């Protein structure tokens, strides 16, 4: 309450953002609504504490309680992902990007060859994009999806691996709507003697809930953000086989980071408690069901989906047949209260600043209790606005009334 009193300017901005989050359909595939408990942990006095090092091996005094918080978070991650006893967890990465950089730093030498998904095909910046530190440090060679199916072509990935002999193969995706065959990835890595790394940032919650196959226990290292489908605070986790534990821990601290954000780690701890519940499992199942329903409804309105559908929480629409670019579609839909992001589609002929597609996901709206019935409604609103931009204003009002029936957690 003191923000309202002592910093009304900032308070008003936060209130405006809260209102925006309540009133729109949040379809950005990487976003979600955290619980009151996660917000409480994030806003706690744990933010005051310096705790460089690891539980029971700190460089600062006064960490008796902090050690227990971090150990609790680690324990709960192990349970949430059903980790075998010979697996190790680091909960200190500040976010997904540093977690990936730390994993590379731990396991690779500069200029080592790494295979990962191409950015335009749905990889992440930290998978060796030219503009990213990872692309400047290591020799990334990129695979993509098949032009014909829009899906991963494991035979092509194997051929590439045979040719370039990578030290590591990364399987991780920000805009890939299909199930990933981690077993195949591991087979390919084994064939060429590469380290296998999975970046499950987007699908972490689906994997923990058992609605998507897991790369654990057969992969070497797994990174994930905690704020996407896992519905925790902004942060990340690195999980690895014990033999990499020392290298990973050293790479996180002191290799790349200083003091861990223990308030965020506390947020991870309480989020993982939620993840282990039956209601989270049901939530994750519903995320996938909703996404399928939304995909079918969009197809009924003539939207073209990359790969022809979805197996997870996200959909990639190729707007080429709708006579609108991704950038204009994003802007137009936002004016109607439908929030998503423009995105490259595989083999895109347009630029990243105005690509041919938009990406959308069901993680956040499912947290508000929406089900299949609501998905058809959303698809019809999207179709109406794309077909006739003049209805955007009217749709915005309808969505504002509609979202009132679906209270968002934490808001
Ligand atoms: C979101 C994401 C990241 C990066 O996470 P940030 O927290 O934004 O740094 C890394 N990899 C993948 C696959 C992601 O989806």
Determine the atom of ligand 1 nearest the C-alpha atom of 200. 13
**Structure pTM?**
0.97
Same domain, 306 and 396: yes
Please name which of 264, 263, 390, 396 lies closest in space to residue 337, comparing C-alpha atoms.
396
DSSP 211: S
| Region of residue 157 (left: phi > 0; alpha: psi -120 to 50; beta: else) | alpha
Determine the atom of ligand 1 nearest the C-alpha atom of 97. 9
1 compared with 130, residue with greater pLDDT: 130
Does residue 290 sit within a domain?
yes
Is 128 close to ligand 1, i.e. is its CB under 6 Å away? no
Residues 160-201 have pLDDT tens digits of 999 999 999 999 999 999 999 999 999 999 999 999 999 999
End-of-domain residue from the set 240, 275, 310: 275
Is 126 close to ligand 1, i.e. is its CB under 6 Å away? yes
Does residue 116 sit within a domain?
yes
Same domain, 72 and 44: yes
Of the candidates 11, 50, 54, 154, the residue annotated as catalytic is: 50
Domains contained in the chain, number: 2
End-of-domain residue from the set 221, 245, 275: 275
- The CA distance from 316 to 109, in Å, is 35
Which residue is closest in CA terms to ligand 1's atom 6?
96
Same domain, 313 and 344: yes
Which residue is closest in CA terms to ligand 1's atom 10?
96
Please name which of 189, 225, 194, 195 lies closest in space to residue 207, comparing C-alpha atoms.
225
Same domain, 78 and 108: yes
End-of-domain residue from the set 275, 296, 326: 275
Q: What SS3 state is found at 321? A: helix
Does residue 19 sit within a domain?
no
Residues 254-283 have pLDDT tens digits of 999 999 999 999 999 999 999 999 999 999
Same domain, 216 and 297: no
Where residue 100 sits, what CATH number does that domain have?
Answer: 3.40.640.10
Is 97 close to ligand 1, i.e. is its CB under 6 Å away? yes
Does residue 16 sit within a domain?
no
Same domain, 293 and 217: no
* Residue 391 domain boundaries: 286-403
Q: What is the mean pLDDT of residues 84-94?
A: 98
Determine the atom of ligand 1 nearest the C-alpha atom of 235. 7
SS3 content of the chain, % helix, strand, coil (to 5): 50, 15, 35
């Amino acid at each position: 309450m003191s923000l309202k009193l002592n910093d009304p300017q900032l308070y008003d901005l936060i209130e405006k953002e809260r209102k925006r989050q309540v009133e729109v359909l949040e379809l950005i595939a990487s976003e979600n609504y955290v619980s009151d408990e996660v917000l409480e942990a994030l806003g706690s006095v744990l933010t005051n504490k310096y705790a460089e090092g690891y539980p029971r091996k700190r460089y600062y005094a006064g960490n008796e309680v902090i050690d227990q918080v971090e150990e609790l978070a680690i324990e709960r991650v192990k349970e949430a992902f059903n980790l075998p006893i010979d697996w190790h967890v680091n909960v200190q990465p500040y976010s997904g990007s540093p977690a990936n950089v730390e994993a590379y730093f731990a396991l690779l030498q500069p200029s080592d060859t790494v295979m990962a998904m191409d950015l335009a095909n749905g990889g992440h910046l930290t998978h060796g994009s030219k503009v990213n530190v990872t692309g400047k440090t290591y020799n990334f060679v990129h695979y993509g999806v098949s032009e014909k199916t829009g899906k991963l072509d494991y035979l092509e990935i194997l051929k590439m691996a045979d040719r370039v002999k990578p030290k590591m193969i990364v399987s991780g995706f920000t805009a890939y709507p299909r199930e990933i065959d981690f077993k195949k990835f591991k087979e390919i890595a084994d064939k060429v003697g590469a380290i296998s790394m999975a970046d499950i940032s987007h699908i972490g919650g689906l994997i923990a809930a058992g609605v998507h196959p897991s790369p654990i226990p057969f992969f070497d290292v797994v990174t994930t953000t905690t704020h996407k489908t896992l519905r925790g605070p902004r942060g990340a986790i690195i999980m690895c086989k014990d033999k990499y534990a020392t290298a990973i821990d050293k790479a996180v601290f002191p290799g790349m980071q200083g003091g861990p954000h223990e308030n965020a780690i506390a947020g991870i701890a309480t989020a993982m408690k939620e993840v282990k519940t039956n209601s989270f499992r049901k939530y994750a199942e519903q995320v996938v069901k909703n996404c399928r329903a939304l995909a079918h409804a969009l197809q009924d309105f003539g939207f073209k989906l990359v790969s022809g559908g979805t197996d997870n929480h996200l959909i990639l629409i190729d707007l080429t047949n709708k006579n609108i670019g991704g950038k204009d579609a994003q802007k137009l839909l936002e004016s109607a209260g439908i929030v998503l992001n423009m995105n490259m589609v595989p083999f895109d002929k347009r630029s990243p600043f105005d690509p041919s597609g938009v990406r959308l996901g069901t993680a956040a709206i499912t947290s508000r209790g929406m089900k299949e019935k609501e998905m058809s409604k959303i698809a019809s609103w999207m179709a109406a606005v794309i077909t006739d931009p003049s209805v955007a204003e009217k749709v915005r009002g309808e969505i504002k009334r509609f979202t009132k029936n679906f209270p968002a957690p934490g808001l």
